[in-house]
Amino acid sequence: MTTFAEPALAFDREPQPSDSTRTKDAFGRLHVSMAHISKACVNEYIGHEIPNWQALGLERDRRYKLLRDPDELSRAASTFNNVPLLSTHRGHSAASHQPDLVIGSTGTDAVFNFPFLDNSLVVWPQPDIEKIEDDLKRELSCSYAYRPDLSPGVFEGESYEIVMRDIVGNHVAVVSAGRAGSEVLIGDSKPADQPNLMECFIMPTTVLSRKALLVQGASLGYLAPKLAADAKSIDLTKVFANVTAANFKASKATIAAALADTVKGKLAADAKLDDYQTFLGAFDAMDPEEDKPKAKDEEEETEEEKEAREKREKKEASDKKARDKKAKDARKAFDAKQAADRKAFDAENPFAKKDDDDKKADDEEEDDDDKKKKKAEDAEEDDKVSKAAMDAAIGSVAKSTEARIVARMRGAREAEQFVRPWVGELAVAYDSAEEILRATAIALKVPDAATIHASALKTLIGLMPKPGEVRGGGQRLANDSVRTADAEAEFRKMFPEAGKAPRRV
């Protein structure tokens, strides 16, 4: 299986507007007569970037030095002819072609002139041409298949561990930063998982406090524009290893001295750190929440405390439920005893008898109360049960409504396309296909166009001559031509419903 690695590409020098290597054709496309697209040199690659790294026993995140061998580049030169120029790296093949990423092509004159692999280029889209001209994105990066050979050695004074063999060009990408440096200007992109701002720094493995992480991140941004172009692998872990929110203010001088020692020899010629201690002062009042001690009531529960709390809450809920049931049963028993005592009293006391109408009214009142109570309970239960069904019904109606709207809009668009040969683009917006067809029929003076059934409109419009169309014997037909009696009879025979009012459904 072919594996793509990400090597280097670039212009041989920084082109200027008057540079003869860069020209534009009559249509504004950018042509580069010759550019360095790769270089024979030693570059670092992360283990997982190397083809078959696992089978070779390489470590996933370790950096390895690979030689882009000059003899291998020379043999591979022709494989970089007529390959796509992409706006970003993507493995490219006929089966995985992505036209939106293709911005140009390499030429047909690839040649190896030690130590560079050169070729001509063409860039097509204006936005990408502008990025190159504004120096926003003008380095090149080759992508190619190769076989890693674990043969260590030394090339021009620099040691390497692996040699790239059997190189085959896949594509060239325009990137903002390349591996091969300023010699390869339009090239070899750095790993996609290393942001440009952070690629000069090694992420710390020591656990830092929140305060230390905050200031370290800001310090990386402070240092980035001050570092020399070839500065690599700056590790600020030791600088902030013992910094906390509590000791930060007192440690600023120590931090500044440690940082100056760490970047010694790695700063640009005119870069200075005189204002760094003042820079640190901006973080005096910034205390991350995680560094502040939590109040007693904000402390996290232990597992035992959580279990005890849940058990207590469960018992309280159970006790409340038992108390409520006991009170309800007692009330029910009291009401039953009251009713029994009243019934016994009425049976023994002849003066306590009520008029039949009054008794009936009392019974009916009790029945009404029971019915109202039961109805309220049923309504509450129905509300609980039907909520899910109601949501489903609402969703179904919404979906159905949306489908109808989409269908109507699609029909209207199709009707607009159908009538365009007769009336061109409509000046008035219509909501339905019927409105569009009827308005067109009226404009074309189709008989009974205002009242004819909608199903006949499209057919009748199709029978009308289009502007400039010549039918039957080369005679040009006008839109307002009059039909003969025979034609009228034939028309009625074909469309018996014509002229009748549309039926209501």
* Lowest mean per-residue pLDDT among 187-191, 381-385, 431-435: 187-191
**CB of 120 closer than 8 Å to CB of 29:** no
Residues 144 and 274 placed together within one structural domain of the fold: no
Instruction: Specify if 380 maps to a domain.
Output: no
Q: Are strands 42-46 and 63-67 parallel, antiparallel or unpaired?
A: antiparallel
- Residue, of 369 and 248, whose pLDDT is higher: 248
Residues 160-181 have pLDDT tens digits of 999 999 999 988 888 765 554 4
Residues 210-224 have pLDDT tens digits of 888 888 888 888 888
Residues 41 and 102 placed together within one structural domain of the fold: yes
Per-residue model confidence (pLDDT) at position 241 = 86
Residues 216 and 68 placed together within one structural domain of the fold: no
Query: What is the domain extent for residue 78?
Result: 4-183
Instruction: Specify if 74 maps to a domain.
Output: yes
Residues 84 and 135 placed together within one structural domain of the fold: yes
Q: For residue 232, what are the contacts with CB-CB under 8 A and spacing of at least 6? A: 200
* Lowest mean per-residue pLDDT among 8-17, 119-128, 202-211: 8-17
Per-residue model confidence (pLDDT) at position 336 = 85
Instruction: Specify if 396 maps to a domain.
Output: no
* Lowest mean per-residue pLDDT among 49-63, 244-258, 340-354: 340-354
Residues 59 and 114 placed together within one structural domain of the fold: yes
* pLDDT, averaged across the chain: 75
Residues 297-307 have pLDDT tens digits of 445 678 888 88
Instruction: Specify if 158 maps to a domain.
Output: yes
Domain count, the chain: 3
pTM over 0.85: no
**CB of 171 closer than 8 Å to CB of 83:** yes
Instruction: Specify if 20 maps to a domain.
Output: yes
pLDDT grade, residue 108 (50/70/90)?
A: very high
Q: Give 169's strand partners.
A: 144
Does residue 186 have a pLDDT over 70? no
Q: Give 36's strand partners.
A: 118
Residues 99 and 239 placed together within one structural domain of the fold: no
Instruction: Specify if 216 maps to a domain.
Output: yes
The mean pLDDT value for 291-313 works out to: 70
As a whole number of angstroms, the distance between CA 467 and CA 458 comes to 17
Instruction: Return the beta strands (E) in 89-181 as ranges.
Output: 102-106, 111-113, 116-123, 139-149, 153-155, 158-160, 162-175
- Residue, of 197 and 221, whose pLDDT is higher: 221
Per-residue model confidence (pLDDT) at position 204 = 43
Instruction: Specify if 391 maps to a domain.
Output: no
Residues 151 and 18 placed together within one structural domain of the fold: yes
- Euclidean distance between the first and final Cα of the chain, in Å? 65
Among 291, 311, 338, the domain-final residue is 291
Instruction: Specify if 57 maps to a domain.
Output: yes
Q: Which helix (H) or strand (E) covers residue 6, if one does?
A: none
